[in-house]
Each structure stands twice: as structure tokens, then as C-alpha cells.
Amino acid sequence: MKILLRKVTKSPSDFEILSEDITFKGYLEYHSPKLTRLHAKLQGDVAKPCDICAEDMSVSVDEEVEFFISDGIYQQDDTPLEFDVVESFDENADIDALMQSEVEMIKSDYHTCENCKDKDEFEF
């Protein structure tokens, strides 16, 4: 699902996508000529191997995601922004790709399965 950034106005453009066991639901909103604000909720289960024993496990996710999407290269001015900026080079907000990168971020975090949790506490 792609949303053309310049079509996003102050009245929020809603989106909702479901991929495997995860929903990514939220809206895009006009912020400034070059920036669109994304606000979404990522909910569901992310499957990944345990970081200790490599058994398959799932991480349950329920988090707010908020950032700006820049239409082209983002040139920082003097106003500090409250959220990170993701640059888009095809004039679109690629919601699937954005969701995928959020999921990858969760996968790259450190997670251990139930069996390893106890050992974990000893070692650290």
C-alpha cells in the first residue's frame, strides 16, 4: 500500500494493513510542505528465533509508532523535530515497507524464549 505524500492533507489519511500476525494501523497527516507525519499502532505477534537457543518463538507487540516522512532528502532546519524522519525518494509513503522495517527492528532486538529466560537472569 502506497500513499502519495503530496495528497496527504490535514485531515488524516487512514491506513490499515495486515501481514502475517501483525496489524499496522494508523494515519498520515500533513505537517509541513516537505514533511508528513505518520502515527500508527503496531500490534500482533512477531515470529523470530530465540537469541539464545534459536528455537522459534513469538514476541508480542503493541506499540505506538510515530515519525515524519520527508518527500525527498530531508534538510534539517533550525526547528528541532519531536520524531525521527524517514526519507522517501518516490514521493510515496510505502506503508508496507515502513511496517516491514518496524518489524525488522523488533526482530533485531534481544529476545529470549520462556526456557531461556531463567538462565538469562543468572548470566546478566
Q: Which residues of the chain form contacts with Zn ion (CB under 5 A)?
A: 50, 52-53, 113, 115-116
Q: How far is the CB of 123 from Zn ion (least distance, A)?
A: 13
For residues 58 and 115, which CB has a smaller minimum distance to Zn ion in the complex?
115
Sequential DSSP letters for 41-96: EEEEEEEEE-TTT--EEEEEEEEEEEEEEEESS----SS--SS-EEEESSSEEEHH
- Spatial separation of the C-alpha atoms in residues 74 and 25, rounded to whole Å: 25
Q: How far is the CB of 124 from Zn ion (least distance, A)?
A: 15
- Which amino acid is it at 84? D
**CB under 8 Å to 98, separation ≥6 — which residues?**
24, 38, 69, 86
For residues 49 and 72, which CB has a smaller minimum distance to Zn ion in the complex?
49
For residues 55 and 90, which CB has a smaller minimum distance to Zn ion in the complex?
55
For residues 32 and 115, which CB has a smaller minimum distance to Zn ion in the complex?
115
Q: How far is the CB of 79 from Zn ion (least distance, A)?
A: 45
Q: How far is the CB of 20 from Zn ion (least distance, A)?
A: 21
